[in-house]
Amino acid sequence: MKATTLRRIGARVATLLASLLIALTMAFALGRLSGDPTATILGPMALPEQREALRHQLGLDQPLLVQYFDYLKGVFTGDLGDSLQFYQSNTTMILDRLPFTLQLVAAGMSLAILIGIPLGVLAATREGTWWDRGASTLALLGQSVPVFWLGMMLVVLFAVKLGWLPAGQSGSLKHLILPAVTMALYPMAHIARLTRASMSDALREPFIDSARARGISTTRVVWRHGFKNAMMPILTIIVLQTGVLMSGAVAIEYVYSWPGLGQLALQSIQFRDFPLVQAIVVFAAVIFVLLNLVVDLLHSVVDPRVR
C-alpha cells in the first residue's frame, strides 16, 4: 500500500476517533446537566442521608474530572455501567433492544431504496414531464411531512378506522409495516431527489450520447452507464441516512411503541438515567463513526480516483 494511502487512512481514523471523543464528552456533560437523578430514583419522600448514600454509590460525590475519567475508562474497557431505573447492565439492555431498531432501520431503508431510486431515475429520464413533476412533488412532500404526524395518521387510518394493521408494538410482520413505511418516507424522498439530480448530470455526459449512438438500448444506457456513474453520492447518502435513521428512530418508536433503542433512550432521558443515556450515546456514536468509515471505504472501492 502506498505511503500516501496509509497517511490518508491514518488521518481519517484520527478524525473519527476525535469525533468519538467529542461525542463521549458531550454525552457526559449533558448527563450531568440534566438534574439530580437521586430525586427521581428515590422520590420526594426519601431521607437526605439516603440521597447522599445514593450519590456516593453512583460516584456523584466525586470531582467532575474524576467522574469523567472513570467514565472514559469504563467506555474503553467495554463497561457501560448499570441503569439507574432498570437495575440492569446497560450493555445487556442495549443488546436486547438493538435487534428491534436494526429491524426497523433495515426495513425502512430498504423501502426507501426500492422506491426512492426508481422514482429519482424516472424523474431524471423524463425531465420536465408530469412524471418528473409528480416524482419531485412526492419527494418534496416526503421531506416536509413530520414523521410523528404521519405515524399518527397511519395509525388512525390503517389500525383504528380500517383495522387492517396493528396500531403499534412489535411481534409479527404486520407490526412492522406501519413503522417501516413511516421510517422510509424521509430517506426515500432524500434518495429520490438526489438520484434525480445525480442522474440528470450523468445523463448529460458525452459517454451517454456515445452509448446511444452505438445503438445500446435506453434501459441499458440509463442503468448500466448513467446510474453507475451517478451512484457515488447516492451510496454516500444511503449509508449516512442509515445512521440518521438509527437516531431518528426515537420518534417512530415512540409513536408505535416499538421496543427499540429509541424508545429506551427516551425512557432513560425521562428518568434522568444518565448512565443509560450515556451508554446509548456512546453506542450511537460508535455506529456513526463506523458508518462514516464505511462511506470512506465505499468511495475508494467505487471510485479509484480517491484511493
Partner 1 sequence: MIKNRLGARRLVAVAAALTMAGLGLTACGSDSEKSGASSNAPIRALLNAQPTTLDPIVGPRSGQPVWGTMLEPLINTDAKFDPENTGVITDWKRDDPTTWTFTVREGISFSNGEKADAAAVANSILLNRDTEAGILKSYFGNVASVEAPDATTVVLKTKTPQYNIPNLLTNVFLLPPAYYKEKGSEGFAAAPVGTGPYVLDKVQAGRSISVKLNPDYWGEKPKNTGVDFSWSNEPSQRLALLQSKSVDVAFDLSYTQAADAKKAGLEVTSTETAVKLVAFLYAPTAPFNDPKLREAAALAIDRNAIVDGIFDGHAKADAGLLNIVPGSEPGESVTADPAKAKELVGGTSVTVPISYPAGQYTNIEEVAQAIGGSLEKAGFKVKYNPLDYGTLVKQVVGRQLNGIYMFAGVPNVAVPDFFASGFMKTVSITGNCPDPKADALVQKALEQDDAAAAAPVYDELNTLGVVDNHCFVPLYRQIFNYGTQKNVSGVQYDALGAYDFTKATR
Instruction: Find the binding residues for partner 1 in span 142-161 (CB under 8 A).
Output: 152, 155-156, 159-160
Question: Could you give phi then psi for residue 89, rounded to 5 degrees?
Answer: -65, 130
| Burial classification of residue 137, based on how many CB atoms lie within 10 Å of its CB (0-12 exposed, 13-18 middle, 19 or more buried) | exposed
Q: Which of 34, 67, 136, 200 binds partner 1 (CB under 8 A)?
A: 34
> In this chain, which stretch among 12-20, 24-32, 130-138, 223-231 interacts with partner 1, using CB under 8 A?
223-231
3-class SS string, 200-236: HHHHCCHHHHHHHHCCCCHHHHHHHHHHHHHHHHHHH
Total of chain residues touching partner 1, rule CB under 8 A: 82
For partner 1, the closer CB: 41 or 293: 41
Measured on CA atoms in the order 5, 195, 114, 258, is the torsion positive or negative?
positive
- What binding mask, one character per residue, do residues 181-220 give for partner 1 by CB under 8 A, x or -? ----------------------------------------
Q: Which of 1, 45, 65, 213 binds partner 1 (CB under 8 A)?
A: 45
> In this chain, which stretch among 14-22, 73-81, 124-132, 259-267 interacts with partner 1, using CB under 8 A?
259-267
Which residue has 460508535 as its cell numbers?
286
Q: State the cell numbers at 226.
A: 448513467
d(CA 245, CA 108): 8
Q: Which of 3, 44, 65, 77 binds partner 1 (CB under 8 A)?
A: 44
> In this chain, which stretch among 51-59, 67-75, 139-147, 283-291 interacts with partner 1, using CB under 8 A?
51-59
Q: Which of 28, 75, 90, 97 binds partner 1 (CB under 8 A)?
A: 97
d(CA 258, CA 261): 9
